[in-house]
Amino acid sequence: MEQSIRYTPFFLLCGVLIVSLIVGLLSRRSDRGGYGVQVRSIGHASIGAAIASNWMSAASFLGIAGVFFLNGYFAFAYILGWTGGYVLLLVLMGSQIRRFGKYTAPDFVEARYDSSVARVFSAVIAIVISLIYCVAQYKGIGMVFAWMFGIDYTQALVFGTLITFVYLVVAGGLKAARNPQMHYLVLIISFVVPLMLIAKKLGYNWLVPQFSYGRALRDLPEQVSNAYLFPWTFGSPYEWIALCFTLMVGTAGLPHVLSRFYTVPNNRDARWGVVWGLFFIGLLYWSAPAFGAFARTWLTNSGTILTPADSQALADIIVIKTAEWVGLNEIFVSVLAIGGILAAISTITGLLVTGAGAISYDIYYRLINPKATESHLLLVAKGATLALALLVLVIAVNPPGLIAQITAVAFALAGNTLFPVFLLGIWWDRANKYGAIAGMMVGTIITFAPILLGNLIPTLRTILPPTSSALVGAPVVILTMIIVSRLTPPPPERLRRFLVEKVHSP
C-alpha cells in the first residue's frame, strides 16, 4: 500500500522516547529521598489526570475514531460505555473496595472469599484480560509502524514490539518514573490540536471541532449523512445496549482501573479524582468522532471511493490518515502517530507488569514454589513478561477485529467475572468461595463460548456478541453466585464482621 519511509514521525518518535527516558532518569534522581512516599497535597485535578492517563490506550486514541468512521452512531456505545462505567465504579464500589484495603484483584478475592483456589482463578482471569487488552495495543502499534515505514503489518508488528520491549526493559531497568499528568497533557494536546487544524483546513469551526463535526456530517451527501446520523444503521438496539452495558460493567471490574483508587492518599481524594478523571477522558471522547466525520468529509470532497474492505483496513489509523489526507503539516501528522504509539506503549507497560506480577506472585509463589526467594521471583516475573509479550505478538499477527472491538472482549471478560465477584463480595455478606468460583467459571464460559462455538451455533453470537456478552452474562453470573452461595455454608464470621465494621462504616 505505502512504499516510502516517513522520516519526520520516525525521528520525532526517537526524540520523544529518548527525552522521556532522560526525564525519567532526572526525576528519579531528584526525588530519591522521598521514594515511594505519597505526597499528601496533590490536587483532585492532578489525580484525575493520572486516572485519565492510565485509561487512555490505543483503543481511545486510535480505536474510537475508527469505529465512528465505520459505524457512526453505533460508536457512541463505546464512548458511553467507557465513560459511564466510571459512574458505576464510583457509586457501587470505589470507597468500599478501598476500605477493604487490598490492592489487586487476586488479593481482594483471596481476602474476601478466604480461598486460594478463588485467588488463582481470579489471577488467571486478570492475566487473560491483560493479554487480550495488550493484543489490541499491539495492533495499534503494528498499524502505526506499518504506516510509518511503509512496510507490511506483520513486519511492522515485530519491529514495533521490539522497540516497545527495548524501551520497556531500559525504562524498567532505570526505574524511570513516568509522570502521569505530563503524559495525559502530551496525549490530549497531540490529539486535539491536529483535530482543530483539520477542521480549519476543511472550512469548519476550528475552535470547537467537537461541535462542528455535526455540521460536517450534515454536509455529506444525504444517503451517507443519514447512515451516520440514524441510530440503527450499523447495529440493532439490542447490540447497542448490550455493548454499552458490557463496557460499563467491564470498566468497573477492570483490575488496572480499580488499582488507581489506591495510589491516592485518601478515599475522599480518590472519589473527587474520578470527577476530574471523567472530564479529562471526556475531552478525548468528545473529540474522537470528529476524526471519523472529517475523514468522510475529505473522502466525499475529493471524490475518493474506498471499498468496504479498504475502510475496514484503514479504520484503526483513520486518525492519522485524516490528518494526512487533508494535507496537514507533516509535523502534526507525526504528532498524532506518536500520540497513538505512546498511548499504546504506556498501556502495554502497565498491563504486562500487572500480568507478570500475577504470574510470578499469585501463581508461581502461591501455588508452585512458596519457598522462592525475592530475586528468584523477580527472575520469574521477567521471564513471564517476555513470555506474555511473545504470546501477545503471536495472537496480534492475525488481529481478530478492530482495536476497539478486541479491547471490548477484555471488558466483557472483566464484566462477566471480576465485576460480579467484587459487587457481591462487597454488597452481600453471604457470598462465599463456592459461589465466587462457580461464578467465575460460568463467566469465563459465557465470554468465550460465542468466540469458540460461534461458528457452530450462530444464535450464540446473536444473543452473546463476543464484544457485548455481559448484558446477559453479568446477571447470569450474579444469579449463579447467589444460588451456589445459598446452597453452601456461609463465609466465616470474622470476614462478615470485617465487612460490617470496616468496609461499610463511614
Partner 1 sequence: MSQTNEQEPPSRDDLRINFFRPRAGFMRKEVTIIWITLAAWAIMTFGMPIHLALTHSDPTRTLAEVPYIFGIPAYFWFSGQFLILWFIFLCFIFNVLIDWLSSSYRRRR
* Contact (CB, 8 A) for 468 and 416: no
Q: Which is nearer to partner 1, 10 or 428 (CB)?
A: 428
Name the minimum Å distance from CB 381 to partner 1: 35
Name the minimum Å distance from CB 222 to partner 1: 8
* Contact (CB, 8 A) for 64 and 247: no
Find, among 136, 103, 109, the residue nearest to 123 by Cα: 109
The one-character DSSP state at 90 is I
Q: Which is nearer to partner 1, 441 or 495 (CB)?
A: 495
Q: State how far the Cα of 211 lies from the Cα of 214, in Å rounded to an integer.
A: 6
In the block, residue with C-alpha cell 502530551: 186
Name the minimum Å distance from CB 11 to partner 1: 36
Name the minimum Å distance from CB 171 to partner 1: 33
Q: Which is nearer to partner 1, 338 or 478 (CB)?
A: 478
In the block, residue with C-alpha cell 455481559: 470
Find, among 116, 133, 421, the residue nearest to 253 by Cα: 421
Name the minimum Å distance from CB 220 to partner 1: 12
Name the minimum Å distance from CB 218 to partner 1: 6
Q: Which is nearer to partner 1, 84 or 265 (CB)?
A: 84
Q: Which is nearer to partner 1, 3 or 505 (CB)?
A: 505
The one-character DSSP state at 73 is G
Name the minimum Å distance from CB 276 to partner 1: 9
Specify burial of residue 390 (Cβ count, 10 A radius: 0-12, 13-18, 19+).
Answer: exposed
Q: State how far the Cα of 272 lies from the Cα of 44, in Å rounded to an integer.
A: 6
Find, among 228, 205, 224, 201, the residue nearest to 215 by Cα: 205
Q: Which is nearer to partner 1, 91 or 379 (CB)?
A: 91
Q: Which is nearer to partner 1, 175 or 218 (CB)?
A: 218
The one-character DSSP state at 362 is I
Residues contributing to the site for partner 1 (CB under 8 A): 73, 76, 79-80, 83-84, 86-88, 90-92, 95, 210-211, 214-215, 217-218, 226-227, 229-233, 237, 240-241, 244-245, 248, 268, 271-272, 274-275, 278-279, 282, 285-286, 289, 427-430, 493, 496-497, 499-500, 504-506
